[in-house]
């Protein structure tokens, strides 16, 4: 394998394509906004004349409010999926890059972040934007295992309280996406730089 092949693979591996996730997010938001507008329009247009018994209007308004609440729950679930999918994409990608560059590393040594730190010949925590990747990891774990702010997440971010609802996941996703893409580039560069397989 020549160095030019190593350079080509490194360049290819540095790209994390978030197009599918972005399209999912855009379609979800478009659909949710459309539903919110329809519910708002229906709510505002209601009059007592629409009902046999004028007292029924309040019950029907409550029904529309419930539907609006469910829209918010779907939005929250959508961003939970975005965070979990982004973490999974980076996790799978970095393991693949590590296995390619360090074939002697066993699969179990890439099982989690602690084992990867020990197995890799470079310091993960010193890579630029490792903190963003670690934050994404903690949010992913909190979503998957507890569905709320975990103890680990609260320890790392004292403004969050363990057991509280995970909020503003849309902002979390938007803030972390470019940072973890940069982290991935740095991870790939470090892997190829330390790889015996692709050194000149």
Chain segment 79-127, per-residue pLDDT in tens: 999 999 999 999 999 999 999 899 988 888 888 888 999 999 999 999 9
To the nearest 10°, report the CA torsion of 11, 14, 15, 21. 170
Please, what is the average pLDDT of the chain? 90
- Mean pLDDT for 178-193 is 94
pLDDT tens-digit profile of 94-106? 999 999 899 988 8
pLDDT cut 70: percent of the chain above it = 94
| pLDDT score at 1 | 44
The residue behind tokens 């030019």 is: 4
Predicted confidence (pLDDT) at residue 199 exceeds the cutoff of 70: no
Phi, psi of 135 (to 5 degrees): -65, -45
- What does the domain layout of the chain look like in residue ranges? 16-194
pLDDT tens-digit profile of 28-61? 999 999 999 999 999 999 988 888 888 889 999 9
* Residue pair 150/142 in contact by the 8 Å Cβ criterion: yes
Predicted confidence (pLDDT) at residue 181 exceeds the cutoff of 80: yes
């Amino acid at each position: 394998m020549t160095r030019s092949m190593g350079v080509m693979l490194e360049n290819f591996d540095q790209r994390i394509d978030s197009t599918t996730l972005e399209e999912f997010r855009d379609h979800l938001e478009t659909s949710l906004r459309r539903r919110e507008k329809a519910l708002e329009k229906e709510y505002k247009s209601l009059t007592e004349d629409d009902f046999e018994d004028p007292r029924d209007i309040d019950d029907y308004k409550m029904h529309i409010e419930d539907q609006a609440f469910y829209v918010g729950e779907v939005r929250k679930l959508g961003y939970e999926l975005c965070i979990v999918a982004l973490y999974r994409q980076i996790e799978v990608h970095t393991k693949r890059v590590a296995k390619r560059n360090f074939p002697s590393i066993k699969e179990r040594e890439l099982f989690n972040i602690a084992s990867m730190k020990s197995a890799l010949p470079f310091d993960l925590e010193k890579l630029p934007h490792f903190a963003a990747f670690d934050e994404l990891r903690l949010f992913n774990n909190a979503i998957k295992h507890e569905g709320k702010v975990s103890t680990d997440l609260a320890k790392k971010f004292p403004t969050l309280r363990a057991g509280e609802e995970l909020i503003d996941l849309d902002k979390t996703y938007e803030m972390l996406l470019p940072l973890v893409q940069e982290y991935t580039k740095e991870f790939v560069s470090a892997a190829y730089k330390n790889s015996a397989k692709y050194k000149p």
